[in-house]
Amino acid sequence: MPSVELKGVSKRFREVLAVDDLDVSVEDEEYLCVLGPTGSGKSTLLRIIAGLVRPDSGAVLIDGSNVNDVPTEKRNTALMPQNYALFPHMTTWDNVAYGPKSRGEDPKSVADRTRELLETVHLQDWGNAYPNQLSGGMQQRVALIRALASGAKTLLLDEPLGALDARLRLDLRGRLKKFAHEYCLTVIHVTHDQSEAVSLGDRVLLLRHGRAEQVGSPGDMYFAPRTVFAANFVGERAILEGLVRGTREGTAELELAGGERISARGGEFREGELVVIAIRCESLDIGDSSGRGANRLRGRVKDVRPIGAYFRYSVELPGEITIHPHVPSALAIDSPFAPGSEVEVSFDEGDVVLYAYPPRGLAVEVEAF
């Protein structure tokens, strides 16, 4: 039986349909990441499950029972909201210990648990501080462990790591997942960070305008996005327009804006059809002329930026197309291709994903701003 289930849930705020006829099913002890841009309905979804927002239509089920009329405190869920909502008059320690204490747990075990949780988020020295004495990132960590300590079976986390610096965020990702597993929790974790979603989630739900754009395993989401919007939002990709020039045995021959031809798997498209081409930036290799990929395009390096684990190249192709190969640092560190160099960008047929041209145009689908 699913732990949390939404059936045809909708919620409208004035003229905005925040959640639109959404069906979601979260298994017991599953870690579901909900991903989507600002305004896609992520927070509303959490608040509906928590019982803070009543849906206009549809049903919310927890452990199989309809909870539409069950108040927040009786749903056995703990919501960590984006603004933390810590008790301002309580110390860090008391905020964290509040839930277990009010359930009448043994003081010794409450103290042990609180201490352990504070250590988990590196706040063991801040137990006596009040929320207004903590930085935003510290408050966020307190809110997170308060939710963990609450004893609720289902955690609803709204951007729980958003205010932390990269280093701490990465550290806490691992700890959060481990903790959820150890305590057999069901977690619904809202984020706008696709890397957080694919690394933490057992499954990822991608929302757009209050609807499920795609639900699937992190691998499916990352390697096989089903729509142009999903392809653009999950992972970094070159997204180009192409004209189908011919198809043969499941392979399509495509012409790019500058006249070059590439081939891709996709026999379902017809000659003369305009399609959208998506290629993950890390599957674009750059080299002189010894590229291994089946597809090779000549271009000129405009810029190279080190990003850390990879270098981001900007390569201009004919037809005023710029693509951005991501080359692992281990390879790029002594690459000879400086800005101005002529290079060959190569990639395999299997790395190219094709989509039917969206009816409202490409710009609407890849509009990230």
Binding span for another protein by CB under 8 A among 15-23, 83-91, 100-108, 191-199: 191-199
- CA separation for the pair 185, 203 (Å, rounded): 15
- CA separation for the pair 369, 367 (Å, rounded): 6
Q: Does 336 bind another protein (CB under 8 A)?
A: no
Helix axes 136-149, 166-182, angle to 10 degrees: 0
DSSP string covering 50-79, please? HTSS--SEEEEEETTEE-TTS-GGGS-EEE
Q: Does 340 bind another protein (CB under 8 A)?
A: no
- Residue placing its CB nearer to another protein in the complex, 234 or 275: 234
Cα-based distances in Å from 328 to 40, 283, 331, 340: 33, 10, 6, 20
What's phi and psi for 62, nearest 5 deg? Answer: -120, 125
- Helix locations, the chain, DSSP H: 42-50, 92-102, 107-120, 136-149, 166-182, 194-200, 218-223, 228-233, 329-332, 362-366
- Minimum separation from the CB atom of position 268 to another protein (A): 26
- Among 27, 193, 202, 273, the residue binding another protein under the rule CB under 8 A is 193
- Residue placing its CB nearer to another protein in the complex, 137 or 246: 137
- Among 305, 339, 342, 364, the residue binding another protein under the rule CB under 8 A is 305
The answer to whether the Cα torsion of 312, 348, 236, 243 is positive or negative is: positive
- Minimum separation from the CB atom of position 116 to another protein (A): 16
Residues 196-225 that bind another protein (CB under 8 A): 196, 198-199, 218-219, 222
Q: Does 70 bind another protein (CB under 8 A)?
A: no
Neighbouring C-beta atoms of residue 232, cutoff 10 Å: 19
- Residue placing its CB nearer to another protein in the complex, 9 or 207: 207
- Among 37, 127, 258, 287, the residue binding another protein under the rule CB under 8 A is 37
Interface mask toward another protein for 277-296; x: CB under 8 A: ---xxxx-------------
Q: Does 329 bind another protein (CB under 8 A)?
A: yes
Q: Does 312 bind another protein (CB under 8 A)?
A: yes
Q: Does 72 bind another protein (CB under 8 A)?
A: no
Neighbouring C-beta atoms of residue 219, cutoff 10 Å: 10
Binding span for another protein by CB under 8 A among 8-16, 55-63, 81-89, 163-171: 163-171
Neighbouring C-beta atoms of residue 154, cutoff 10 Å: 22
- Minimum separation from the CB atom of position 312 to another protein (A): 7
List of residues contacting another protein (CB under 8 A): 37-39, 122, 135, 137, 165-168, 170, 174, 192-196, 198-199, 218-219, 222, 233-236, 280-283, 305-310, 312, 326, 328-330, 333, 368-369
